[in-house]
């Protein structure tokens, strides 16, 4: 299951209380809302890092006797008068200023203590804008060098946090992608109210309009009804661009949005409040005062508000006037119609664009905005109108302009209710509950789903902001989350007796791992992608490269190819451990390797399990590794059939490489790593690896065992030592011994190899112990001698081997 990263909605508690009454703590609220589906990630406390900073009135400013640049102030902080030394150039008698008193805490962790400054007592500190970090609260830095001057009248001694309204708590909600409606204060208020079992309210919107009609000023034409479902425009005249009031700046800042100016702030405020993105155009710059919603023309360009020149394609939706594009619909406005200090009149836009197109456009332009991400997820068509009215109301309230009567409202989608009919019993049966239908109904009602019970059926009107609700399962979730997931009783499904068991492959894989672990190997797990250049590093010629599956958008070039062999993974692990000075390292890994499969019509590659063993260290050599592979093959019932054939492999030592074959199928390779490759991996003391096709191994494993009767007669052992040329392979000698030995020869064991004194140069002595056995009688010399002699003769004629006496 993929958890999509949700979007963060910052909810200031003071703002939330405008829509819903509650007196539980922010912590309690966030816990409760988490359990009804609004996941609270944390709470931040605004103003927490300012402590004991009071509003003080400057009563007197005197020259510091010992310092030119300092002054000594008498400051009234209500219950007493403090002497404070400051270097601020702007202090004047009568000012109200923030005074950090003895023991105060400032942002950044600074503590203020009483003390002497150049010989004069200073019982605190007068604070500047920066020292209080007021920008974080959306406060405007007036640019004055020195003390921050409080611009309103407060009683001396008032806590600065109360005076400037700095304290608040902000809950950080992670909103899941199916609930874009909760990316707004209104949506959160709705959820909070249901969670606490109360009601929410939205202030009634009253717009003071002047008699001039908006529809006489501006025209809206939607040319693409599939991409723009509703477009509302209002006209505002005599706009006065100025900072917005403190309460609005505080709320925006607490919600994580930077205050700019009244018009921008109002559109942002409405977006946060209602979830509806809005935009403002400079009316005079819109040709013919006509808004056209159309597709971009091929090669059309637009410089967006971020001053980037955008080259548009025909599938992008733009807002245009008859002459030019003026905005990327739902993404960002154009610089050509930007609202500036000179702007007199504006057109306010509130619209609903199709999410998929907004997403494609913003992706194509590499431009994601707050607006675009909201359109992508879907907005509430009813809010399109409500938001523009709210903005108009605020514009008047803030004195930012005068609003013309009415609005132009074009919709291409019928504004009708979506009704779904469900059997209410199915809600219970899905949840494992037995709720009364009227209870189900009341939960849905509290979530703004108007509904009616008609016998077994429930008819539900889905509110316009709940685009995610389509059927009975969605309603079941609504009921369950408000009823409480906790209250759903835990049950275990009934059903037939368990039929679970490990598959043959699972059993064998476990067995292989356990056998390898028992032999001292540690299991490693490595990434399955490698650098395409790794093949050079392991000695493959270009033409030998297996066809790799290539990731089109890798994290980096060096992680862009799916591995086709386990060898680089093994060597990488050995190399890392060698670098960390581990004196030995013995590992194995069972994992998938991938090769392009031209046979497969659906485009999937061939995925095969590979078993790799890698090791270096003091007590490792080819024969120990081979022995381990043999034990593994034995565990899989394949030792008798397995052959180790002299072979060559680009990563391995040419004289120390064997191919492992079972019944003519190539199972893998085993060998000492080539010194060149060791050097590439910093394995100065050498290394050994084996790689087996584990999918094949699972396939051909012989797991059935049958009992053979224990022999009733003793076996007879005969030793056989021969001297032969060194390059005659032991395997060939053994094959001949077996061939000639026939059915009475039960076992052949090599117990000694010797070169040196008494053995001619270029030859070696091999000593075998041969065991003869018959199941029906005790073997006598007369049975064995002829066979044994025939073996000696055969070795002599085939290999020119001499019996060693």
Partner 1 sequence: MGDRLNLIQQEALASIEQAKDSNVLEEIRIKYLGKKGELTQFLRGMGKLPPSERPIMGQLVNKTRRSIESALTRKNEAIERESLIKRLKDETIDVTLPGEKPQLGGLHPLTKVLNKITDIFFGMGFNVAEGPEVELDYYNFEALNIPKNHPARDTQDTFYINENVLLRTHTSPAQIRVMEQQQPPIKIIVPGRVYRSDAVDATHSPIFYQIEGLVIDKNITMGDLKGVLDIFIKRMFGERTRTRFRPHHFPFTEPSAEMDANCTACEGRGCRICSNTGWIEILGAGMVHPKVLEYGNIDPNDYTGFAFGMGLDRITNLVYGIDDIRLLYENDIRFLRQF
| Residue in the block written with tokens 């006037």 | 321
- How many whole angstroms separate alpha carbon 639 and alpha carbon 641? 5
Provide, rounded to whole angstroms, the least separation between the CB of residue 328 and partner 1. Answer: 18
Tokens of 670: 């085993």
585-614 residues in contact with partner 1 (CB under 8 A) are: 585-588, 591-592, 594, 602-605, 607
- One DSSP character per residue, 290-347 reads EEEEEEPPTT-EEEBTTS-EEE--TTSEEEE-SSSEEEETTTEEBGGG---TT---EE
Candidates 35, 67, 117, 736: give the one binding partner 1 (CB under 8 A): 35
501 binds partner 1 (CB under 8 A): yes
Among 111, 576, 679, 738, binds partner 1 (CB under 8 A): 576
Note whether 567 and 610 are within 8 A (CB): no
Residues 122-141 contacting partner 1, CB under 8 A? none
Alpha-carbon gap, residue 327 to 263, rounded angstroms:
17
CB of 368 to partner 1, least distance (A): 11
Closest separation in Å from C-beta 5 to partner 1: 9
Nearer to partner 1, 310 or 586 (CB): 586
Q: Are strands 522-523 and 457-462 parallel, antiparallel or unpaired?
A: unpaired
Minimum separation from the CB atom of position 207 to partner 1 (A): 35
Among 165, 215, 474, 621, contact with partner 1 (rule: CB under 8 A) = 474
Tokens of 659: 């191919």
Pairing between β-strand 585-595 and β-strand 522-523 as defined by DSSP bridges: parallel
Binds partner 1 by CB under 8 A, chosen from 121, 144, 438, 550: 550
Q: C-beta of 422: minimal distance to partner 1 in Å?
A: 12
8 contributes a contact to partner 1 by CB under 8 A: no
> Would you count residue 143 as binding partner 1 (CB under 8 A)?
no
Shortest distance in whole angstroms from residue 735 CB to partner 1: 33
Q: How far is the CB of 573 from partner 1 (least distance, A)?
A: 5
Judged by CB under 8 A, the residue of 203, 399, 520, 742 near partner 1 is: 520
**337 vs 372, beta carbon nearer partner 1:** 372
Is residue 519 a contact point for partner 1 (CB under 8 A)? yes
Task: Give the CA radius of gyration of the chain.
Answer: 42
Q: Does 513 bind partner 1 (CB under 8 A)?
A: yes
DSSP state of 488: S
Q: In the range 274-333, which residues lie near partner 1 by CB under 8 A?
A: none
Task: Verify binding: residue 205, partner 1, rule CB under 8 A.
Answer: no
Nearest approach, Cβ of residue 429 and partner 1 (Å): 7
Nearer to partner 1, 93 or 582 (CB): 582
- Report the residue from 204, 414, 490, 704 that binds partner 1 according to the rule CB under 8 A: 490
Tell me which DSSP letter residue 793 carries.
Answer: H
Instruction: Tell me whether residue 161 or residue 359 sits nearer to partner 1 (CB atom).
Output: 359
Contact between 552 and partner 1 per CB under 8 A: yes
Using CB under 8 A, pick the residue from 493, 542, 601, 710 that binds partner 1: 493
Which residues, 6+ apart, have CB-to-CB distance to 539 below 8 Å?
650, 651, 674, 676, 677
Residues 59-98 that bind partner 1 (CB under 8 A): none
Q: Which is nearer to partner 1, 526 or 771 (CB)?
A: 526
Question: Measured between alpha carbons, how far is 733 from 790 in angstroms, rounded to an integer?
Answer: 14
Q: For residues 366-385, which are near partner 1 according to CB under 8 A?
A: 376-377
Q: How far is the CB of 48 from partner 1 (least distance, A)?
A: 16
User: Contacting partner 1 (CB under 8 A), which of 178, 402, 564, 651?
Assistant: 178
Choose, by CB under 8 A, the member of 123, 343, 451, 524 that binds partner 1. 524
Contact range with partner 1 by CB under 8 A, out of 58-66, 247-255, 409-417, 582-590 = 582-590
Please state whether beta strands 688-693 and 606-616 pair in parallel, antiparallel, or not at all (unpaired).
antiparallel
743 binds partner 1 (CB under 8 A): no
Residues in a beta bridge with 721 = 767
- Three-state DSSP class for 434? coil
Which of 58-66, 280-288, 450-458, 527-535 is the region at the interface with partner 1 (rule: CB under 8 A)?
A: 527-535
Residue 123's closest CA among 106, 103, 93, 102? 102
Query: Residue 190: what are its φ and ψ, rounded to 5°?
Result: -60, -45
Residue pair 126/91 in contact (Cβ under 8 Å)? The answer is yes
Closest CB to partner 1 among 41 and 732? Answer: 41
Distance CA 529, CA 562 (A): 4
Site residues for partner 1, 432-461, by CB under 8 A, read 432-433
The residues, any chain, with a CB within 8 Å of residue 797's CB and separated by 6 or more, are none
In the bound complex, what is the minimum distance in angstroms from residue 255's beta carbon to partner 1?
22
Q: Are 30 and 171 in contact (CB under 8 A)?
A: yes
User: Looking only at residues 339 through 358 of this chain, which bind partner 1 when binding is defined by CB under 8 A?
Assistant: 356
Q: How far is the CB of 168 from partner 1 (least distance, A)?
A: 21
Helices (H), 712-754: 730-741
Residue 160 or 593: which CB sits closer to partner 1? 593
Residue 521 interacting with partner 1 (CB under 8 A): yes
User: Which CB atom, from 525 or from 731, has the smaller least distance to partner 1?
Assistant: 525
- What is the residue whose two structure tokens read 């064991």? 749
Is 177 a binder of partner 1 (CB under 8 A)?
A: yes
Distance CA 242, CA 399 (A): 10
- Of 30 and 86, nearer to partner 1 (C-beta) is 30
Within 13 Å of residue 785, how many CA atoms lie on the same side as its CB? 3
Q: Does residue 485 interact with partner 1 by CB under 8 A?
A: yes
| 309 vs 580, beta carbon nearer partner 1 | 580
Rounded to a whole number of angstroms, the minimum distance from the CB of residue 673 to partner 1 is 17
> By rule CB under 8 A, what count of residues binds partner 1?
92
Q: List, in sequence order, every residue forming a beta bridge with 200; answer none if it has no partner.
A: 20
For partner 1, give the closer residue by CB, 284 or 558: 558
In angstroms, the CA 703 to CA 258 distance is 70
Site for partner 1 in 394-433 (CB under 8 A): 429-433
Are 47 and 102 contacting, i.e. CB atoms less than 8 angstroms apart? no
CB 73 within 8 A of CB 86: yes
CA 242 to chain centre: 41
CB–CB of 754/724 below 8 Å? no
Q: Does 481 bind partner 1 (CB under 8 A)?
A: yes
Backbone angles phi, psi at 274, to 5 degrees: -115, -10
- Decide the pairing of beta strands 346-353 and 228-237: antiparallel
Residue 3 binds partner 1 (CB under 8 A): yes
Q: Using CB under 8 A, which residues numbered 221 to 250 contact partner 1?
A: none
Instruction: Tell me: does residue 517 bind partner 1 (CB under 8 A).
Output: yes
771 binds partner 1 (CB under 8 A): no
**CA nearest neighbour of 124 among 154, 147, 145:** 147
- Which tokens hold the place of 582? 């581990």
The owner of tokens 């093959």 is 633
Give residue 660's Cα distance to chain centre: 43
Q: Which listed residue (157, 532, 554, 650) binds partner 1 by CB under 8 A? A: 554
């Amino acid at each position: 299951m993929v958890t999509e990263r949700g979007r963060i909605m910052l909810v200031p508690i003071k703002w939330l209380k405008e829509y819903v009454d509650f007196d539980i703590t922010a912590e309690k609220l966030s816990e409760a809302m988490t359990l009804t589906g609004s996941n609270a990630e944390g709470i931040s406390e605004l103003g927490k890092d300012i402590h004991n900073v009071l509003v003080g009135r400057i009563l007197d400013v005197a020259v510091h006797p010992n310092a030119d640049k300092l002054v000594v102030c008498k400051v009234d902080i209500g219950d007493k008068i403090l002497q404070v030394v400051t270097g601020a150039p702007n202090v004047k008698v009568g000012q109200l200023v923030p005074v950090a008193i003895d023991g105060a805490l400032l942002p950044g962790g600074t503590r203020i203590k009483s003390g002497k400054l150049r010989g004069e007592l200073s019982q605190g500190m007068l604070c500047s804008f920066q020292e209080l970090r007021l920008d974080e609260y959306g406060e405007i830095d007036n640019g004055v060098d020195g003390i921050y001057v409080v611009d309103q009248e407060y009683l001396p001694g008032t806590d600065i946090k109360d005076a400037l309204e700095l304290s608040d708590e902000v809950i950080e909600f992670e909103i899941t992608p199916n609930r874009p409606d909760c990316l707004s204060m209104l949506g959160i208020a709705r959820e909070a109210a249901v969670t606490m079992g109360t009601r929410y309210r939205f202030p009634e919107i009253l717009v003071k309009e002047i008699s001039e009609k908006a529809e006489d000023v501006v025209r809206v034409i939607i040319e693409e009804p599939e991409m723009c479902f509703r477009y509302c425009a209002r006209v505002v005249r005599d706009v006065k661009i100025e900072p917005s009031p403190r309460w609005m700046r505080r709320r925006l800042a607490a919600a994580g949005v930077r205050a700019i100016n009244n018009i921008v702030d109002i559109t942002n405020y409405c977006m946060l409040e209602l979830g509806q993105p809005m935009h403002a155009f400079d009316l005079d710059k819109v040709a013919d005062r006509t808004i056209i919603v159309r597709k971009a023309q091929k090669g059309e360009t637009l410089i967006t508000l971020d001053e980037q020149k955008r080259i548009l394609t025909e599938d992008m939706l733009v807002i245009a006037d008859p002459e030019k594009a003026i905005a990327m619909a739902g993404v960002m406005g154009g610089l050509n119609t930007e609202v500036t200090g000179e702007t007199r009149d504006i057109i306010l836009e509130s619209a609903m664009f199709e999410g998929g197109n907004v997403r494609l456009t913003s992706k194509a332009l590499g431009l994601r905005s707050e607006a675009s991400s909201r359109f992508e997820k879907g907005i509430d068509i009813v809010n399109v109108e409500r938001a523009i009215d709210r903005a108009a109301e605020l514009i008047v309230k803030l004195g930012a302009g005068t609003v013309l009567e009415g609005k132009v409202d074009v919709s291409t989608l019928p504004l009708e209710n979506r009704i779904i009919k469900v059997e209410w019993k199915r809600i219970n049966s899905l949840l494992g509950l037995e709720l009364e239908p009227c209870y189900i109904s009341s939960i849905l009602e509290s979530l703004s789903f108007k509904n009616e019970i008609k016998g077994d059926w429930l008819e539900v009107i889905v509110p316009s902001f709940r685009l995610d609700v389509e059927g009975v399962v969605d309603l079941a979730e609504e009921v369950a989350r408000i009823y409480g997931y906790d209250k759903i009783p835990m049950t275990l499904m009934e059903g037939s007796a368990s039929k679970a068991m490990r598959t043959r492959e699972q059993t064998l894989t476990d067995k292989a791992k356990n056998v390898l672990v028992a032999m001292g190997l540690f299991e490693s797990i490595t990434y399955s992608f490698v650098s395409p250049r790794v093949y050079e590093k392991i000695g493959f010629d270009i033409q030998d490269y297996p066809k790799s599956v290539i990731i089109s958008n890798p994290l980096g070039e060096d992680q862009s190819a799916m591995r086709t062999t386990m060898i680089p993974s093994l060597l990488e692990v050995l190399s890392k451990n060698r670098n960390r000075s581990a004196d030995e390292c013995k590992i194995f890994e069972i994992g998938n390797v991938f090769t392009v499969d031209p046979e497969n019509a659906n485009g999937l590659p061939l995925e095969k399990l590979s078993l790799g063993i890698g090791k270096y260290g003091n007590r490792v050599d080819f024969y120990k590794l081979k022995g381990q592979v043999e034990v593994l093959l034995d565990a899989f019932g394949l030792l008798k059939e397995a052959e180790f054939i002299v072979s060559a492999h680009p990563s391995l030592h040419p004289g120390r490489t064997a191919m492992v074959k079972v019944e003519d199928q190539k199972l893998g390779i085993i060998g000492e790593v080539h010194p060149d490759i060791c050097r590439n991996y910093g394995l100065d003391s050498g290394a050994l690896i084996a790689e087996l096709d584990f999918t094949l191994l699972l396939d051909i494993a012989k797991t059935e065992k049958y009992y053979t009767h224990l022999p009733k007669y003793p076996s007879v052992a005969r030793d056989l030592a021969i001297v032969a040329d060194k390059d005659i392979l032991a395997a060939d000698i053994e094959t001949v011994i077996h061939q000639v030995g026939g059915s009475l020869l039960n076992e052949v064991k090599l117990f000694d190899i010797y070169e040196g004194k008494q053995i001619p140069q270029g030859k070696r002595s091999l000593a075998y112990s041969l065991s003869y056995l018959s199941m029906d009688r005790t073997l006598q010399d007369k049975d064995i001698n002829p066979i044994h002699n025939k073996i000696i003769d055969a070795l002599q004629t085939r290999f020119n081997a001499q019996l060693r006496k």
